Structures are given as C-alpha cells and as structure tokens.
Amino acid sequence: MSSINLKRLSEELGLSISSVSKALRDSYEISAETKKRVLAMAEKLNYQPNPFASSLRRKKSITIAVVIPEIANNFFALAIDGIQLVAQQKGYHVLTYLTHESFKNEESTIKHLQGGRVDGVLISLCRDTENIKHLSSLHETGIPLVFFDRIPENMECPTVTTDDYESGFNATEHLIKAGCKKIACLSLSSFLSITHKRMEGYVDALKKHKLKVDPKLMIECTNNNATNLELIKKLLTRKDRPDGIFATVEKLAISTYYVCNDIKLKIPQQLKIISFSNLRTASLLAPSLSTITQPAFEIGKESASLLFRMIEKKTFGNRIDRIVLKSSLIERNSSK
C-alpha cells in the first residue's frame, strides 16, 4: 500500500499540490523547468494518479462498457477484439459484462451502469429481451449508447448491424439454386432483430422461387444445447424432412452437424446447410461449411468508433447513426 499521491509528490518537490497537478497535466501555467522536475520526480517515485479521485472530479471515467450475451462465441469474441482495439487507441478502459442470454442479467447490468461508472455503453441484446425499459432509462441519463448486431427494433438509437435481410435472402436462394425444395430455418429467438431480418429474407427468397413457406420448417431453438439437438433431430428424422437448412446462428449449424453424424444423414447429398458463422475452421469441417460471414471485427471497430464520436462531441449528438456493414456468402461443400 505505498499509495504515493500528489501530496507526497508536492512535499518531495517543495511545491504546492495544485502546481504539481498542473505540471503533470502539462498546463501552460507552469514553467517548463518546473514541469521537468515534476515529471522526473513522478517517474522516480513511480507515481500513478488515483483514477477514482480523478474521475470523481472530472466526471469522466475514461471507461466504456460492453454488454454481450456470451464470450465463447466467435462472433462476439471478434467484435470485442475490434472494440478493444479502438478503445486502446483512445486510452479508454473496457468493462465487459456477459448476460448469458438472460434478461435479468441484462437488466441489472444496465441499471448498475447508470451510476456513471462508464462514459458509454456498447450492447448486443440477449435473446430474451422484449421489454426495453431499462435501455430507454439508461438512454435518458444521457450516457451514449450504441447497439450492435442484436438491436432493439422499436427504439430510436444508433446501431451497427449487417445486411441481415439480404444475407438471409441470399443464403436461402443459394440453397434453392443448389436444388433444395424444402428448406428449414433455425433461429435463436423470435425477440431478436437478427432473427426477424434474416427470416424475412428467407421467406422472401422462398416466395420469389414459389416455394411453400411452411411454419413447421421455421424452428425457434432454445438456450439449451441438448434441447436444440433434440429439436433438430426431430426435424431431420420426420418423414417429410427438409433437404436444406439455413441456420441463422453458428451454434445451430454445429448442432446440425452433430445430429447428422448421429443419424447418418449425408451432407450435402441428403441435406444441404448454410449458416451465419465466424468459424475459422469452417473450411476444414467435414464437409466444409458454407457460411455467411459477418465482418465481426469491423462491427466492433465501427461500433466503438461511433460510440467515441458520441462521447467526444455530444453537441452534434442529435443525429442518429445507423451503420450497416456487408456480410459475405462463402460457398463451400455443405451446400454443393
């Protein structure tokens, strides 16, 4: 508990606390010579300013919060990577919160953040989030807030997303062109914006090609992996089973692979698959997985950049940015 502070420094230097503080912040009020002395002493004593005193006084935390459903997820891991990159450049600290897809967690996390612990918040909603009161409440405190990927649909707010509708459409059309007649769509939760957009694209592609839109082929999965495996197995073992699967999230494609291994269903001969995914090993799978790959790292970068723009010049904060990045469809063997 060495705790060397401005007082100690000032005594050591024979200066006042305020002069030392100013010198360290490179104020014009302090002579060059004094600054040099102060800096040298600070270095020598390994002075580190107390961040709480500083934040309290300046009403700035130099910290942002990132609230995401899970971290053991390629998409979010990459997004965080992008966020951290920008934050580090700006000299900001990053607090990470995992909701684990639980609305309760999301709500209490957001509530805590209203205390002023952070200067801005980046968030991707959890699968259960229907009610957004907690978010409008946070918004009203005036703290900058940017949503990415999973956004609220009935709220005026800055967002960073991908072209989910088009991707859903293209993915489905890709399966149709590969010969699929009966395409199932696996999704996470009907509350999620990404589910809506991607499924809209799916439905419209089916319509365009005069294929039946069958609610029985639109499977809403759960947050439990075992349950999902069962749901998918049931889907793939019924007599009118689909010949194509469009998975709106990576983990459901992986589950499908496991089920196919289990019930000896051949991909792509008997079932073609395409999925949203950021798997680095997509091309090494048996068979290699066709993907819609989101620019996750860029999403993180863009979100953070947007957030910092809002933090830095609140004056121009009236306009609401909605950034949309493009995903890319990568054909591989699972849909051949």
Q: Least distance to a copy of itself from the beta carbon of 85, Å? A: 8
- Please give the residue ranges that form the binding site for DNA (CB under 7 A): 3, 5-7, 14-19, 21-22, 24-25, 29-31, 33-34, 47, 49-50, 53-54, 56-59
Instruction: Pick the closer one to a copy of itself by CB: 112 or 238.
Output: 112
The yes or no reply on residue 141 touching a copy of itself (CB under 8 A) is yes
What residue 141 binds from DNA, a copy of itself, none (CB within 5 to 8 A, per partner kind)?
Answer: a copy of itself
70 binds, among DNA, a copy of itself, none (CB under 5 to 8 A by kind): a copy of itself
CA distances from 283 to 43, 78, 257, 294, 334 (A): 51, 18, 14, 16, 10
Rounded-to-integer distance, Cα 42 and Cα 224, Å: 54
Binding mask 82-101 for a copy of itself (x = CB under 8 A): --x---x----xxxxxx---
Which residue shows structure tokens 């997509």?
282
SS3 call for 98: strand
Binding flags for a copy of itself, 242-271, as an x/- string (CB under 8 A) = ------------x--xx--x----------
Q: Closest by alpha carbon to 69, among 249, 201, 298, 328?
A: 249
Return the one option of a copy of itself, DNA, none that residue 213 interacts with (CB less than 5 to 8 A, by type): none
* One-letter amino acid of 87: A
Q: Do 99 and 68 form a contact (C-beta atoms < 8 A)?
A: yes
Cβ proximity to a copy of itself, 30 vs 98, nearer residue? 98
287 prior amide bond cis, ω within 30: yes
Assess 77 for contact with a copy of itself (CB under 8 A).
yes
Shortest separation between residue 254's beta carbon and a copy of itself, angstroms = 6
Cα distance between residue 99 and residue 113, in whole Å: 14
3-state secondary structure 13-79: HCCCHHHHHHHHCCCCCCCHHHHHHHHHHHHHCCCCCCHHHHHHHHCCCCEEEEEECCCCCHHHHHH
d(CA 71, CA 80): 9
| Residue 286 binds a copy of itself, judged by CB under 8 A | yes
CB of 86 to DNA, least distance (A): 23
Nearest approach in angstroms of CB 178 to a copy of itself is: 20
Which run of H or E residues covers position 84? helix 74-90
* Contacting residues toward a copy of itself, per CB under 8 A: 1-3, 46, 48-53, 55-56, 61, 63, 70-74, 77-78, 80-81, 84, 88, 93-98, 105, 111-112, 114-117, 137, 140-142, 254, 257-258, 261, 279-281, 284-288
